[in-house]
Structure 1
Amino acid sequence: MRTHKKRVIVIFLVILCIGLQGISVFASDYVTLKYGSRGNDVVNLQKWLISKGYLNDSADGIYGPLTEKAIIKFQIASHITVDGIAGKQTQSTLYQQPVSRGASTSRSDYATNLYWLSRIIHAESEAEPYKGKLAVGNVILNRVNSNEFPSTVKGVIFEYYKGIPQFSPVAEGTIYTTPSQTSIQAAKDVLNGDLGIKYATYFFNPDKAKGSWIVQNKTYMTRIGNHVFYQ
């Protein structure tokens, strides 16, 4: 009887080990993976992305555009640096999350983020080029992923500093204006990983505001349409 139990335990352990070979839970050394990377490390990464609902593709071992977008989505959802690269921070966060995203929660969060992001994009950049709309949306998400600002899209938009809203549409009430289809699409693109402009967390229209504090304390990045962007 004891011999039989031992055989059962041994067989169970063998099966468990074989199953774990498919997806490594932890890696002792994190090899930075990015667009163009290939191999077993990419396969492992893709399997985890698939298991958590971020990648709707096969684990082919090729770090292409779909894998890059999946990584960006994961980084946005995890509030970590968003760069489309699976470095140590991204991999350790991904491999140490045992619970997959719930479908209903994911849909609810996405709908809420889309609702507010499309409205701030519309209110701030209705007359701006599409690239400018994407950039405004990215400023919001870059703030969400920064430790210096609130951790949600709505929280960032409605943040106050010394009793003053950080975004003028909140003070003016235009944040509640129904957004155009173009603004909604821009919000969708941003939420789906279109970085537009990386790292920028501030912007303003120099024809309407001096932005003295931003100019003196932040690093200028670029100008798109009527807006200048700073990091």
Structure 2
Amino acid sequence: MIVCLISIFLTYSYTYAIVGEYSGIVKTEAYYYGSRADIIYKVQYNLKKWGYFKGEIDGIYGYQTYTAVKSFQSKNGLKADGIIGDRTLAALGLATKAVSSSSSNNTNNQNVDLLARLINGEARGEPYEGQVAVGAVVLNRVRNPEFPSTVAGVIYQPGAFTAIVDGQINAKIEPNSIKAARDALNGWDPSGGAIYYYNPAKTTNKWIWSRPLIKIIGKHRFCR
């Protein structure tokens, strides 16, 4: 009997050690009704693109987002509970990688990816300096109290960037876009502090022409 108890104790201790060793490495996060997070902007964007969501992309997991998530889950063979977990994120094309880094590092990686996609969609074919400048404009807005305070919030602000409207943010990403995003996040600002930019050959917005010009890089004019 004593031998049996010792055996059980040793088995339990070994199992606990294994679980304890790895439990802190793989962390999953789920998002519920009422959540506010950068990933919610991306969820709303994809749901809107596919016709499930009709509301405003605001990064807040409200009722319209909840019903859209449940509808999406139901149509894609997932448990329709309205909880945005790993399987739902994967079905939305937003699969997350399990990493052992801190949450701040994970946020930084998400910012690089999203900013690179925005640069890719807005400034492919532009001089490299101009690509970094587009990224810098996003970051200048993040620091400006008149705009949302996160990279995702600025990028997905309704009507802010053509690449969101026409879907170019999903275009095949080029290596330079990733490098430009990192340079912008590391503090390089070729725009000179601009919070707006436009291509005069394409814009139909008369208001943007009234903004004070800072500099011209490639086809883009950067302004205050």
TM-score tier after normalising by the smaller chain length: 0.5 to 0.7
- Counting only pairs closer than 5 Å after superposition, residues 13-28 of structure 1 correspond to structure 2 as none
Aligned match of 2:157? 159
Aligned match of 2:171? 177
- Given the alignment of the two structures, is residue 201 of structure 1 paired with residue 195 of structure 2, yes or no? yes
TM-score (norm: length of structure 2): 0.53
**Count of aligned residue pairs for this structure pair:** 124
Unaligned runs of 5+ in 2: 1-100
Aligned match of 1:229? 222
Contact 2:192–2:214 (CA under 8 A) maintained in structure 1:
no
Q: Give the letter aligned to residue 162 of structure 2.
A: S
Contact 1:145–1:151 (CA under 8 A) maintained in structure 2:
yes
Contact 1:117–1:153 (CA under 8 A) maintained in structure 2:
yes
CA distance in 2, matches of 1:215, 1:199: 17
Name the SS for the 1:228 alignment partner: strand
- Counting only pairs closer than 5 Å after superposition, residues 1-231 of structure 1 correspond to structure 2 as 104-160=102-158, 165-216=159-210, 218-231=211-224
Q: Give the letter aligned to residue 186 of structure 2.
A: N
Unaligned runs of 5+ in 1: 1-102
Alignment RMSD (CA, Å): 1.2
CA distance in 2, matches of 1:196, 1:113: 19
TM-aligned CA deviation for residue 221 of structure 1: 0.7
Identity over the aligned pairs, expressed in percent?
40
Name the SS for the 2:194 alignment partner: coil
TM-aligned CA deviation for residue 177 of structure 1: 1.9
Contact 1:204–1:211 (CA under 8 A) maintained in structure 2:
no
TM-score (norm: length of structure 1): 0.52
Cα offsets for 1:170-201 (capped at 9, x unmatched)? 11111122321011000011111112223200
Cα offsets for 1:2-40 (capped at 9, x unmatched)? xxxxxxxxxxxxxxxxxxxxxxxxxxxxxxxxxxxxxxx
CA distance in 2, matches of 1:114, 1:196: 18
Q: Give the letter aligned to residue 111 of structure 1.
A: N
TM-aligned CA deviation for residue 108 of structure 1: 1.1
Name the SS for the 2:145 alignment partner: coil
Contact 1:118–1:184 (CA under 8 A) maintained in structure 2:
yes
TM-aligned CA deviation for residue 210 of structure 1: 4.0
Contact 2:120–2:173 (CA under 8 A) maintained in structure 1:
yes
Name the SS for the 2:209 alignment partner: helix
CA distance in 1, matches of 2:204, 2:217: 17
